[in-house]
Structure 1
Amino acid sequence: MLTGKYIILNDIKFLFIKGVDKYEFMQSIITNDINKTNNKVIYSCLLSPQGKFLSDFFISLNNEGFIIEINEIYLKDFIKKLDLYKLRSKVEIINNNDFKLLIILNSSINPNLEEGDFIDSNKTIHYVDPRNKKLGTRLIIKKNDIEKYIEKQNLIKTDENIYLQLMIENKIPNSIYDLEINKSLLLENNFENINAIDWNKGCYIGQEITARMKYRALIKKSLTTFDLTSGKINKGDNIFHNEKNVGIVKSVVNSKGLALIRKDSLEFSKNQNIYLNTKNGQIKIIN
C-alpha cells in the first residue's frame, strides 16, 4: 500500500466569486470553459488583450459560488483586472483567508478518475489535478483542520522539490518560475496540453491572438524538458548549439529542467540525438 505524501503550498490564496452574473462574467475573461466547473475543477489563465500571460489559477464551484486558487504573486493584479472587467455585472469578489492548499502525492485513488474529477461523490473540494493526474490530488482545507486530516490519513510531509521535479518531468510549467507576466505566450509553454484552454468556448480576453497563433502555426518556440549531463546550469542561462543561441533555461530542479527552445532547433536536437550547451553545462533534450 502506498503511503501518501503531502506538501502545503503556503503561497496559494483564495477568492470567492459570487453573484447572479458569475458564469457570464468568468466565461468572458478566462481561457477555459467555466461551465465545466459544474462537474469538475478546471485550470485556466487570464491573458492580456494581446494574448500575453497575466496569471493562472484553478476554479472550483460550491454552493456559494466559484473558488479561485491563485498564487499570491498574481493576486493583487488579478483582483484589479476583475474589478476593471466586471463593469455592471452583478458579481462579488471576496478574499478568503480561512483555507490552505494541500498537495497529496502517491495516494491510493480510483484509477478511473480523470483530471479535474472530484475524489468522492460528495464533491468536497478534493480533486485530481486538472493539468495532469500524475501530479496527484489537491485539497482545499480549512487551516484549523489540517493537522487532524494529516493524522487521520497518515500522510508524510515531503520536500517541495519532489513536486517541482514531477512538474518538470511531465512538462508542466510552474508559472511563477517559468513564465513572464505580459510577455509569455501560452502556446509556447505547453498550456494547450495541460487542459488550460478550451478552443470551443467562444470569445475571451486574448482569444483572437491565441487562436490565430494556433491555426496559422505561428509558434516559434516550445517548452521542453531536459537532463543536465555535465557541469552546472542556472535559471536564465542561454542555450547554444554550435555557438548559436537557440533558447533559455526556465527552471531547474536537481538534474532536471525546463527550457524554451526554438522549434527548428528543438526538432533537430531530438532527431539527431545531440547535446546542447550553456555557459557552464551541457544538456540533453528529453521531450
Structure 2
Amino acid sequence: MNTPWNDFLVQTGATIVDTGVRFEAPEAEVRAAADGTVVVPLAHLGLIRATGEDSVTLLHNLLSNDVKKLGAEDAQWSSFNSPKGRMIASLLLWKDSDGRMIATSADIQPMLLKKLSMYILRSKAKLTDAGADTVLIGLSGPDAASIATGAGYAVPLAPMKQSASGDVRCIRLNENSLILAVPAAAAPAVFGELVAGGARKAGTAAWQAAMVRAGVPMITASVQEEFVAQMLNFDLIGGVSFNKGCYPGQEIVARMQYLGKLKKRMYRVHVATDTAPQPGADVFAPDFGDQSAGKLVNVVPAADGGYEALAVLQSSSAAAGEAHLGTLTGPRLTFLDLPYALPEQ
C-alpha cells in the first residue's frame, strides 16, 4: 500500500490489516454497505501499469479478453490463465493517459507482475507496479453516483465504462458500485470529499460484500488455478472473448464453451456459522458423497449473521438444492440470488 495514503487512513481512524482496511468490525461495515452508501479504500487491490507501443499486443496475447477492443471509455474484466485453462488471476482493465491499468488481488500482484513480465522479451512494452502513484477508492450503494457527481467527478451512465475528470478516473462496475483511480497525492482530498458528500467510511469487507452480491469473484492466492473462467461465470460478466484467438489456456476455455462439458458454475450462498469459512474450503453434496462437489471462492460476513460466499459447485448439486460446508454433515448452504441468470445446463 502507498505509505502516505496508509498514514492518512490511520489518522482518519482506519486499522490496516492483512486483508485490507478496517474502520469498524467487518460485520458492522457490511451492514453499513447494505443500508447505505460507503466509501472504501481498496487496499486489497494491487495495480500494474502496461506502457509502450507493444503493450496492448502483449496483454491481448496473454489475457482472456480482447484487449485490442478496450477503448478509452471502456473497462473490462479479464483473466490470466495457466496452460490448463485454470485462472491464475482475475483482472479489471482500463485505459489511462499513460497506458493500460490492471487491478488484481494485492496478495498475488507481485507474482502476476513477475509472470507477465517474463513474456516481454524484445517487445517494446513495460510493466510496472502502479501502486506508488495511483490509489483506488470504491464507492458502493444507491447514492454512489450522486455522491461522486456532487464531488465534481463525471460518472459513466453505463456499467463497465469509465470517464475522466482531470487526473481522476471513474470506473462504473454496475448500477451501485464505482471505482475512482486517483493520483496518490490527491487521494486524501478525494476521500474527504466523498465522505463530506454523504458516504460512510468503511473497510475492505464492505466492498467485498458488494462484489459478492454482484456475483463478481476475485482470485486470491488460496484459490489460484482451481477454476476455469466459465466456472467463475466470467463468460457471463464479460470477462472472456471467444473470438480473439490464442492466449494461455484458450483451448480449454473454448472447449468448455463449445463442447458443453461445463459441469460447475459459481453460486452465491449463505452459511449459518459463527466460524468464518476460508476461501478454498470444500463443499459437499449428497449426490457426490464423500467427494468434494465444489469450493468457496470469496467469503464475507453477512449483514444478518453468518457468512455470504461465492461458491463454485457442481450444477447437479445446486439443482438438488442441498450442499454443506466441510463435510456432508457440516453447515448447510442456502442458495441466494445472483444479479444475472445462469444458463441451463
Q: Do they superpose with TM above 0.5?
A: yes
Q: Which amino acid aligns with 1:267?
A: A
Q: Deviations 1:119-155 (Å, cap 9, x if unpaired)?
A: 45769421102xxx04500011122212211222323
Q: Percent identity?
A: 19
Aligned pair 1:56/2:56, yes or no? no
Q: Are residues 252 and 84 of structure 1, via their aligned partners in 2, closer, same or farther at CA, if it must alter by over 3 Å?
A: closer
Q: Are residues 59 and 233 of structure 1, via their aligned partners in 2, closer, same or farther at CA, if it must alter by over 3 Å?
A: closer
1:58-97 correspondence to structure 2 within 5 Å: 58-96=92-130, 97=132
Q: Are residues 225 and 9 of structure 1, via their aligned partners in 2, closer, same or farther at CA, if it must alter by over 3 Å?
A: same
Any gaps of 5 or more consecutive residues in structure 2?
1-34, 150-154, 338-345
Of 98, 101, 125, which residue of structure 1 is paired with 2:169? 125
More displaced, 206-215 or 234-243?
234-243
Q: Is the 8 A contact 2:282 2:296 kept in 1?
A: yes
Aligned pair 1:43/2:80, yes or no? no
Equivalent residue number for residue 145 of structure 2: 108
Q: Are residues 225 and 53 of structure 1, via their aligned partners in 2, closer, same or farther at CA, if it must alter by over 3 Å?
A: same
**Structure 1 residue 233: Cα displacement:** 6.7
Q: Is the 8 A contact 2:218 2:297 kept in 1?
A: no
Q: Is the 8 A contact 2:40 2:206 kept in 1?
A: no
Q: Is the 8 A contact 1:45 1:54 kept in 2?
A: yes
Equivalent residue number for residue 272 of structure 1: none
Q: Deviations 1:77-105 (Å, cap 9, x if unpaired)?
A: 22222222222211122223112110111
Q: Deviations 1:167-193 (Å, cap 9, x if unpaired)?
A: 22232223227x622332111111111
Equivalent residue number for residue 309 of structure 2: 257
Q: Which amino acid aligns with 2:43?
A: N
Aligned pair 1:23/2:71, yes or no? no
Q: Deviations 1:213-252 (Å, cap 9, x if unpaired)?
A: 1111111222111233578672315323278243334443
Q: TM-score, normalised by structure 1?
A: 0.84
Q: Is the 8 A contact 1:230 1:282 kept in 2?
A: no
**Structure 1 residue 46: Cα displacement:** 0.8
**Structure 1 residue 284: Cα displacement:** 2.1
Aligned pair 1:248/2:295, yes or no? yes
Q: Is the 8 A contact 1:12 1:100 kept in 2?
A: no
C-alpha RMSD of the superposition: 2.8
Q: Are residues 37 and 250 of structure 1, via their aligned partners in 2, closer, same or farther at CA, if it must alter by over 3 Å?
A: closer
Any gaps of 5 or more consecutive residues in structure 1?
270-274
**Structure 1 residue 112: Cα displacement:** 7.5
Q: Count the aligned residue pairs.
A: 277
Q: TM-score, normalised by structure 2?
A: 0.71
Aligned pair 1:189/2:189, yes or no? no
Q: Are residues 165 and 95 of structure 1, via their aligned partners in 2, closer, same or farther at CA, if it must alter by over 3 Å?
A: closer
Aligned pair 1:216/2:259, yes or no? yes
Q: Is the 8 A contact 2:41 2:203 kept in 1?
A: no
Q: Which amino acid aligns with 1:139?
A: L
